[in-house]
Structure 1
Amino acid sequence: MSATGVQWTEHRTPEGRPYWYHSVERRSVWEKPSELKTPRERALEATPWKEYKSGDRSYYVHSVTKQSTWTLPAELKQILDQYPNDGFAAAPPLASSAVASPHVGGNTQSPAFARSPVPSQSPFPAMGQSSPNHHGPAASSTRGAGFNSPNQLHRPGAEPASGSNTPIPNPHTASRAAQSTHATTSGSTEVNFKGDKEAAETAFIQLLRDTHVDVDWTWETTMRTIITNPLYKALKTIAERKAAFNKHIEALRRQRATEAATRMEVLKPAFRKLLDEDARIKSYSSFATAQKYLSATSVWKQAQSEQEAREAFEAVMREKQQAEREQEDKVKARNREMLMALLKTFEADVFTRWRDAHRTIVESQEYTSDALLPRMDVSEMLSVFEELIRGIEKEADAAQRAEVEAKRRKERQNRDAFKSLLRKLADEGKIAARSTWGEIFPLIRDDVSLLRVAGQAGSTPLELFYDFVDSLDQELERQTADALQHISKTGHTVTPTTTWSEFLEWTTGVNVPVATLEQIHRELVSYLEAEQERATVEARKKLERKFRHQIEDLRYAFKKVDPPLRLQADWDEVKQKMHDTHEWKQAEKQDERVPKWAWEKFVRRQKQKLLDSAESVDAKKRKDAPDTPNHDKLTFEETLTKRLRRDADEDHSEPEEGEV
């Protein structure tokens, strides 16, 4: 051993944890100094693998890849085989004064507070001494013992306590934090991080670890516990301290969750095998039942608590129940497919009854010889039968819809053929605007397209004809408007006396066929003549309304004249007999046409009355006529004479306004 190595002495805390004290530098560390390590320990330290404990078992974590394993890695095994004399990470024998503290200046002191040395290495537990990362197996957490720094900066004179198993995030930061903490000769501690907030936060979090602050601690409780420690002032503000506290608590929670998940990954396969091999445990068994039968087994005891065992049990049971459900679903799907295929062989239709189908199924060879089909519930079989019937009904409906669609398509084709016939007749000039069905029917009465449309649903041939003629009428109206616009531009106006040659000359250059122009001329002239006649009639009605009293007076005079006037008399005869009467003179004074209007109205009214009277007499004669054929009959002249005399005795009648 080198002279440097002799300066280190090994000691142990009351809890049995070893630490090493440097007699010259007056510092103590938890990690074994490299000067004291054997070649085997140095070789193991050079590897990225670190050893951890979970109860009595060891596991190994790769510091780079974070991989964890329960088995000894090949790299470590090779080193152990190369140096077979020492145990893996074994502690060297204690110094001759294992319990006694080294003597410095004649005083017997613990190395931790002999002079409160400033350590050259991190005084906190090394990274490799914490629980494994979340990739590794579960590791037990040491709780209850004091987690104090080996230098005991906050309590001079105390022994180093058992180390914390929570790793420091950054060893270099921890080293800076330790180097920023100095002790005075009087034993008080000075904290000065010189603005290194990261180191200050690391020191504060290490204080929380050393104080055993757990996830269920509140900030108030934590503050009361650590407020007297000099490292409490490593962070300057309450907000920074509380943020570091929350960060520490969150890290603890994540670590516990990771450790629990890692342990569960190990426990679940073992529990699954244990539960599968025990016939007493079913998929519906409770945790209490499993605990009753299996709590004494080694697998069950691997769980650190009853809650952990319950979680592993429930996870395995969920998997078993899910597997059973999936198997049941597969059997159910297979039975449904088999039964559906069996039903289809029976040629069922929409009128098949379930009772008959069920009897046929249970009596079939396929059903009785199958091992799984008889296990089907009747309700499940009925569901398959209903599905089959729905499929049959769907196919029948589809066939019916296809038939209806084909019929509709055929009817549409028939209508299109009839429309083509009408278009052909229009091209030949046999159908034009204003054409009537009576004009066209003789031309198409024997055509097959007419017969097909007449015998089907939908639009009738007459409706199709009217639609076609309406389209021709609309086209004619458009062409008429174009022709009239062209005539208006030439400065002409169509009148009832406009000839065809004039109209044709005026419409030269209009994009309208000559045959259509001829029809337009004919209809325009006819329309204008009708309008002219209507205007004449309206003017006469207006005059009649104006002179109605003179007309009615003269009509009354026609009734009272003696001898009576004949209705067949000409106008000159009437004028000769009546021109000296007062009524005639008054009417002629207003307008010379008034007497003639009065006579025309008188004749029209008398003839209508005679016709009504003759019909009434004929009806009465038919009712009261005797059987003899020589019954006297009134002649037309006798009836007329009697009626005129009777009318002469009647009072003046009210005139019918507006009659011509």
Structure 2
Amino acid sequence: MDPGLPPQSFVAPPGIGTPPLLPQVPIPAPIAGLSPFSPMIPSFTVPPPGFNNFGPPGVVPANVAPIVPGSEWSEHKAPDGRTYYYNSVTKQSSWQKPDQLKTPAELLLSQCPWKEYTADNGKIYYHNVNSKESRWTVPPELEEIKKKIAAEDIKPSSGTVTPREVNSPVPVSQPVVSAGSTGPNSPTASPGGKSALEAAMAATLAAISLPNPPAKSDEDSSTPQAEVSKESRTSTPEPKVFTNKKEATEAFKELLKEKNVPSNASWEQCVKIISSDPRYETFKKLNEKKQVFNAYKTQKQKDEKDEQRLKSKKYKEQLEEFLLTTDLISSTTKYYRCDELFSTKEVWQNVNDQDRRDIYDDVMFSLAKREKEDAKNLKKRNMKKLSEVLECMTKINFDTTWSEAQVSLLENSTFKNDVNLLAMDKEDALIVFEEHIRVLEKEYAEEREREKRRMKRQCRKNRDQFLSLLDHLHEEGKLTSMSLWVELYPIISADIRFSAMLGQNGSTPLDLFKFYVEDLKARFHDEKKVIKDILREKAFEVQIDTSFDQFATVICEDKRSAALDAGNVKLTYNSFLEKAEVKEKERLKEESKRMKKLETNLKELLKEMNIDFELPWEEIKVKLEKEEEYLAFESDSERQRVYREFQHEMEESCSHHHSRSKKSKKKKKKVYKSSSSDSDSDKHKKSKHKSKSPTPYSEDSADEYRKKKSKKKHKRKMSPVSE
């Protein structure tokens, strides 16, 4: 095996593959005093991925960067043009440039959080990897670092170096040996006694800082890009800043839309598509990116379903429109016949069979409806045309027969020259003729009614004038809700407006008078509310002795009384007066109840005190002066009256008990004599039992029972007083 070839067991980085061979360039001249494979630049035993034989000494592939002394990293180009880095020790590949391969200028730039990128339109913008802020203008931190690099720039003493631009997102130095360098033995020591290491660092810095002169063939193509970059720098557009997570989410979704990431793509496939775009770093955390990606997929799947649904809907609408507009089918055409006619047409094939059948059913229904509508329109047109012809024929009047009308129509030129009218259904023609005759009859009837309406109009005017007469009488106060026809007849009959009403149809003057009075009475409740409000505001209350003049005077003081009817005012007064009388009766009734209760209490007190009812009032009065029942009466005459009633009741009760006892003794004797047999003895027992029953209610026992009961009541009533 050729020692310059990679081992057969080499595995390229994932998703990258082995970079292709590029045109070879000469190896840079070695530093003076060192061999090409000195310890400063050791030769590697395991070549980087994709390396072929280096060929002749001093030649290295152009896609391989020079190996930094003491570093196991090397730079390579992927098939898609992206740069990756390979570690010969760990056999690992990385997209990020390791620090061992970075130049001093790159190390300074890597310390700055601002990175430089180029947008799709060619404009350069700057992105902060920490704050996720983007802007079009050069940040002060990055500009300061660039100035520092330019200040430390050192040109090489011999040879010409072709560097890359400093502004490149991932700058790589590839020094090229000039024609003055002949080989490994050529002296390269710089004047001034610099060491070989310092000379190498100076050459690296020169490669970074010096501008790269473009090739002549690329001059025309690079000039517009420079102009665009210059315009983008001088125009200083608004910085692209994500102030919140929502804006960052929208930017990331916009990236997915621009790259047209499929809805069924996995996250790994998505990363391969969008990772080269600087907006991929919008979110720092992977889970945030995946969250937005999943939301994008869900929305895209929904949009695709909607698009498919709209597409299917469009095809259905096209098929439905085609079937509705074609002249090859009618409402009676079968489905299999439609399939035979249109099976080769694209508009038929775009819809599946089930949907076609549904559309066919809808179209057949629509066609049947349209044909029915067309027939209806033709019928309507013929009937309208025939009606116009009949209206133009003066020979036909309201008493013309159908047979006479047919003869007249055949003589009419308009009817004879119209094919549709000649083919018109006879029943429809008869219907039109009947309607025309009805119109003529109606016109004749209207002519007769016109005179009647004129008479009715005159009668109505007479009634209105008579009502104005009643209004005038009402305003003068002569006509009220309590007025009678007999009272006002002499005044009404003397007016000419009353005479004009005589002999005409409709309501008579008496009817109008009654209606007018009823309307006034119907206003009673509303006007009564107004009168109540006036009395409430005036704080006036109708009493039994209130006269109507006093009541009317209070009402007339208010402006609202002008719209009140005098009869309703009188009725309201009567209503209030009746209520006042009812209240007075209730008051007297309550007063009577109260006095009766006081009398009862005083009588109970006299019974409880065991006062001899035969004593005069002056002696009794001394005993009762401090009692509550005695003081409840306002006058002494009332107390004397109650005492006299008490004496009368006690006398009656005593006489009643004496008479009952005598009757019971006589009854006992009769029962005793009649008890001669066993049955008589039973009756005697019963009668004896009955005769004994009044004994508990004798005079003495009844008095004792009442005394005990009254004492208990007296104790309960007098207990607070005794305390």
TM-score (norm 2): 0.27
Q: Which has the higher contact order (CA 8 A, sep 6+)?
A: 1
TM-score, reference length from structure 1: 0.29
